[in-house]
Amino acid sequence: MKTLPLLLFLIAIGLGRAAEAPTAAPRSALPRLVDLGADKCIPCRMMTPILAELAKEYAGQLEVRFVDVWKNREEGESYGIRVIPTQIFFDATGKERFRHEGFFAKKNILAKWKELGVELKEPASTKGN
């Protein structure tokens, strides 16, 4: 019976460590764009269709994630942002490569990925146009 409390203790420690894991850790082997903003912020709302297009057009090549920092304050704080929106570019290993504050146009996001050495294949929907 002494092993049950020990087991519960070890599980609790493991869960605590999982909760403390940095949010920048890679969840996939893909480069990742994290946009930190809020659904009531006008420049953030301007980013919404851009993020949706990137997620759809580059599915399987790029992970795109939005974090509403007004609804998820702790997660927003873990990224150490100063203003919203903020876009953070992570490589496939989870290392932060670039950070931008404010609205960021789609063409500029794609140019930044290229500058960082991430070659994204042109989406089928835009080929030949």
Summarised one tens digit per residue, pLDDT across range 7-56 is: 334 344 343 433 333 444 445 699 999 999 999 999 999 999 999 999 99
The answer to whether 39 is a known catalytic residue is no
Nearest to 32 by CA among 107, 115, 95: 95
The catalytic residue among 23, 24, 41, 46 is 41
Render pLDDT for 67-101 as a digit per residue (tens, 0 to 9).
999 999 999 999 999 999 999 999 999 999 999 99
**CA pair distance 100, 52, nearest whole angstrom:** 18
pTM of the complete model: 0.75
Question: Residue 110, class by beta-carbon neighbours within 10 Å (0-12 exposed, 13-18 middle, 19+ buried)?
Answer: middle
The answer to whether 44 is a known catalytic residue is yes
The catalytic residue among 38, 44, 84, 118 is 44
CATH domain 23-120 topology: Glutaredoxin (3.40.30)
Any bridge partners for residue 43, and if so which?
none
Nearest to 103 by CA among 45, 25, 32: 45
